[in-house]
Copies of this chain bind each other. A is one copy, B any other.
Amino acid sequence: MDEPTPQLRDKHRLLSELARRRGFFWGSFEIYGGVSGFIDLGPMGTGLKREIEDTWREFFLRRHGFVEISTPIITPQRVLEASGHIKNFKDPMTECTNCHRRFRADQLIKENTGTETEGLDLEQLTILLKQAKCPECGGILGAPQYFVTMFKTNIGPYGEDPAYTRPEAAQGIFVDFHRVLEVMRERFPLGIAQVGTVLRNEISPRQGPIRLREFTIMDFEIFFDPETPECPYLEEVKDDKLFIVTEDTRRKGKNETTRITTAEALEKRLVKSPWMAYFMAQSTRFLAKLGIDQHNQRFFEKLSTERAHYSAQTFDHEVKLDRWDWVEVAGFAYRTDYDLRSHMQATGIDLRVFKAYDSPVEKTIRTIRPSHEKIRQKFGKDAGRIISLLGKEDLPRILQGKKTGDSIRIEAHDIPIELFDTKEETIKETGAKFLPHVIEPSFGVERLVYSTLEHNLRMKDERLILSLPFGIAPIQAAVYPLVNKDGLVEKAQSVHRSLREGGLRVEYDDAGSIGRRYARADEAGIPLGITVDYDTLKDDTVTLRDRDSWNQIRVKVKELKPTIDSIVNTGFPTKTR
C-alpha cells in the first residue's frame, strides 16, 4: 500500500466534504438542524449503494442459486420475544446526575478509560463508571440501566398490539423458512437472503456514517444439515488467505493477525463451519472487488462473552478506516438451530426438514398395550373405563423400569403390570426430520459504501480523485461538449444517447469549463470522460480521458464502445496525447 500523502491525513473530513459536494451522502434533516444517527444518500450515493448490493448478489446469491425474499420492517413483539431480541437486544445506558444527558455506558467507559467493555454486565459497568465522567459537563454518572435499542410502536389504533422495527432482516427469513423451502421444492442446502432497511434505536450515536440508527442490511442465511456440514464450493477458495485475529490470540491479550489459507483454517478448527469459511473467503474477494485491499481487511473473532445470544462462533469482518481504525462491515455468525428452534417452540409449528434415507431403514420398536382380556378378567364391569383411561396415558414412560409385581394406579384401582403386553415390532422408516443449522453472513451496506469511498480516495497534484472500480462506479462515463454551440451539443447528446442505450451508466455534463468538469468527474469517481470538440465534427473522433492517470486518447465515435470494453478488461492505454 502507498503511504497516504500528507493532505490525505484527515480522510474522514475530506471525504465528508467530497460526499456532500458530489452527492454521495450527508446528514439527514439538515435544514431542521439534523438528527444524529441518520444519513441521506444523494444521487451518487444511491447509485453506488445499488451497485454494491448487486455485486454482493452476484458473489453470494446468483452463482449459488440462492434466493432473496422481502419481509416487513414492522415486527410484532411476540416474534421478537421468541427470537430473544426483547431480552437481549439492549445497551447499557447511563445518565449524568448533573446535566441529565444520557450515554451508552460501555462506550463512554471505553472512550474515558480505554478499558474494553464488550460483554460486561451492569455490575461491572457500575464499578468502571465511577472512574468516568460526563463528557458534556464533567458530572457524576448514574448507575447504568438497560435500554432496548429497537424503535417501539403499535400496529393499528389499539395499544394492545405492540411491535418494533426490526433490528435485523434475518428474523423474516427464519419465520418464512418453511414456506420458502416448499417453494424451492425442498432444495437443500438452501440459502435465503434479504436486503432491506433495519433500525436500531442507538442511545447516542456519534460516529457519522458509521453508527446509524437506520441502515440497509444484507442478511443471508444458509440452512444446512448439521450431519453434512460440507460446502461444495470450498475447492474454489481453499488456497485463499484469511486474515484472522482469533479468539485464542485475543484471550492472550494480543491482537495479531493469523494469516492462513481457508483450507487450513478449517483443518485447525479456527473456523468451525465449511460454509462459514467459504463465505469468509468470498467476502474477502468481494471487498477487494470494491477496491479495499486485503491488507486493510481482517476477521476479528468475538469472545464468547461478546457474541450475540444466538451465536456459537462469530467473526466480524473489519475494514481499517482512517478515523475509526478497525470497523465491522460484516458479521459471520454460526447461529446453529437457535432461531428455528425458538420459532418452533413459540408457534408449535414443526419447522424441521424431512430427509429421506438412501433406502428405507428397518427399525425395531417396543410397544406396550394393556391386555384387554386380562383386565376384563380381573376388573369385570370396571374394565371398560380402566381401558379407556389407560389409552390416555403415556404407558411406555409410566411402565419404564417397573418390575413384575409392581402396579400403576388408575382412579381407585391398582393395575398390576402383568396385565400389560409388551411386543417388539419392526417398522420401515423412509427418512427422518432434522432442524437445519444456519451460517449467517450479514453486511451493513452504508458502512460498505463509506469504506469503498475511503479506500478509493486518492490525491493527485493536490486534487482529490475517487478511483472507484469501473464495475461499481455509479456513473461510468461522462460526455462533454467542449462548448455549448456550433453543433457540438447535438453531437455530444447523440454520443451520450448511444452509450446509454449500449448499457453504460453515462452522464451528460455541459456546465462550466472543461477543466472544471474533469475535476468534478474525478471527485465523483467517473472513470472515463468523453469530450466532443471541433475536430469531432471533422473526423468523428472524440477525446477519451482516464480519471486516474489523466491520460487521453483520440477514438473514433463508432469505436467508442469496443474501446471502452477493452479498457475495462486491460486498462487505459499509456499513450498520452
The yes or no answer to A126 lying at the interface (CB within 8 A) is no
A514 to chain B, nearest CB (A): 14
Which residues of the other chain, B, contact A99 by a CB distance below 8 angstroms?
A: none
Contact present for B79 and A32 (CB under 8 Å) = yes
A324 to chain B, nearest CB (A): 21
Complex CA–CA separation, A349 to B30 (angstroms):
10
Please name the residue on chain B nearest to A176 by beta carbon.
Answer: B40
The yes or no answer to A333 lying at the interface (CB within 8 A) is no
When each residue 36-52 of chain A gets 1 if its CB lies under 8 Å from chain B and 0 otherwise, what string results? 01101111111101000
A382 to chain B, nearest CB (A): 43
Q: What are 12 pairs between A and B in contact, CB < 8 Å?
A: A22-B183, A23-B183, A30-B179, A32-B79, A32-B347, A40-B69, A41-B71, A43-B184, A45-B69, A73-B214, A102-B157, A151-B154
The yes or no answer to A508 lying at the interface (CB within 8 A) is yes
Top 3 closest A-B pairs, CB basis? A23-B183, A43-B67, A41-B70
Complex CA–CA separation, A298 to B184 (angstroms):
38
Which residues of the other chain, B, contact A71 by a CB distance below 8 angstroms?
A: 28, 40-41
Complex CA–CA separation, A187 to B65 (angstroms):
43
A485 to chain B, nearest CB (A): 16
A1-31 CB contacts (< 8 Å) to partner B: 20-23, 26, 28-31
Complex CA–CA separation, A73 to B180 (angstroms):
28
A24 to chain B, nearest CB (A): 9
A561 to chain B, nearest CB (A): 16
Task: Pick the residue among B31, B68, B214 that contacts A349 (CB under 8 A).
Answer: B31
Q: State whether A185 and B511 are in contact (beta carbons under 8 Å apart), knowing that A72-B38, A203-B157 are contacts in the complex.
A: yes
The yes or no answer to A201 lying at the interface (CB within 8 A) is yes
Contact present for A29 and B76 (CB under 8 Å) = yes
When each residue 128-170 of chain A gets 1 if its CB lies under 8 Å from chain B and 0 otherwise, what string results? 0000000000000000000100011111111001000100000
Contact present for A74 and B151 (CB under 8 Å) = yes
The yes or no answer to A175 lying at the interface (CB within 8 A) is yes
When each residue 497-513 of chain A gets 1 if its CB lies under 8 Å from chain B and 0 otherwise, what string results? 00010000001100110
Complex CA–CA separation, A29 to B28 (angstroms):
32
The yes or no answer to A343 lying at the interface (CB within 8 A) is yes
Complex CA–CA separation, A97 to B399 (angstroms):
56
Task: Pick the residue among B78, B178, B187 that contacts A32 (CB under 8 A).
Answer: B78
Q: Which of A37, A157, A180, A347: most chain B CB closer than 10 A? A: A157
Please name the residue on chain B nearest to A70 by beta carbon.
Answer: B41
The yes or no answer to A439 lying at the interface (CB within 8 A) is no
The yes or no answer to A245 lying at the interface (CB within 8 A) is no
A180 to chain B, nearest CB (A): 6
Q: Give A contacts to B, CB under 8 Å.
A: 20-23, 26, 28-32, 35, 37-38, 40-47, 49, 62, 65, 67-76, 78-79, 93, 102, 147, 151-158, 161, 165, 172, 175-176, 178-180, 183-185, 187, 196-197, 199, 201-204, 213-214, 343, 346-347, 349, 351, 500, 507-508, 511-512
What's the number of copies of this chain in the assembled complex? 2
Complex CA–CA separation, A165 to B72 (angstroms):
13
Complex CA–CA separation, A204 to B157 (angstroms):
9
Contact present for B147 and A157 (CB under 8 Å) = yes
Which residues of the other chain, B, contact A343 by a CB distance below 8 angstroms?
A: 31
Contact present for B347 and A203 (CB under 8 Å) = no
Task: Pick the residue among B20, B76, B183 that contacts A21 (CB under 8 A).
Answer: B183
Task: Pick the residue among B26, B62, B68, B102 that contacts A500 (CB under 8 A).
Answer: B62
Complex CA–CA separation, A183 to B62 (angstroms):
35
A397 to chain B, nearest CB (A): 29
Complex CA–CA separation, A175 to B102 (angstroms):
28
Q: Which of A22, A68, A153, A201: most chain B CB closer than 10 A? A: A153
Complex CA–CA separation, A507 to B43 (angstroms):
33
Q: State whether A42 and B22 are in contact (beta carbons under 8 Å apart), knowing that A32-B79, A76-B35, A153-B152 are contacts in the complex.
A: no
Contact present for A153 and B155 (CB under 8 Å) = no
Complex CA–CA separation, A151 to B175 (angstroms):
23
Contact present for B46 and A68 (CB under 8 Å) = yes
Contact present for A29 and B79 (CB under 8 Å) = yes
Which residues of the other chain, B, contact A47 by a CB distance below 8 angstroms?
A: 68
Q: State whether A69 and B93 are in contact (beta carbons under 8 Å apart), knowing that A79-B32, A197-B197 are contacts in the complex.
A: no
Which residues of the other chain, B, contact A75 by a CB distance below 8 angstroms?
A: 29
Which residues of the other chain, B, contact A512 by a CB distance below 8 angstroms?
A: 185
Contact present for B40 and A201 (CB under 8 Å) = no
Please name the residue on chain B nearest to A180 by beta carbon.
Answer: B42
Contact present for A28 and B72 (CB under 8 Å) = yes
Task: Pick the residue among B43, B49, B199, B508 that contacts A74 (CB under 8 A).
Answer: B199
Which residues of the other chain, B, contact A68 by a CB distance below 8 angstroms?
A: 43, 46-47
Q: State whether A40 and B172 are in contact (beta carbons under 8 Å apart), knowing that A62-B500, A147-B157, A204-B156 are contacts in the complex.
A: yes
Please name the residue on chain B nearest to A183 by beta carbon.
Answer: B23
Task: Pick the residue among B41, B72, B157, B201 that contacts A214 (CB under 8 A).
Answer: B72
Please name the residue on chain B nearest to A47 by beta carbon.
Answer: B68
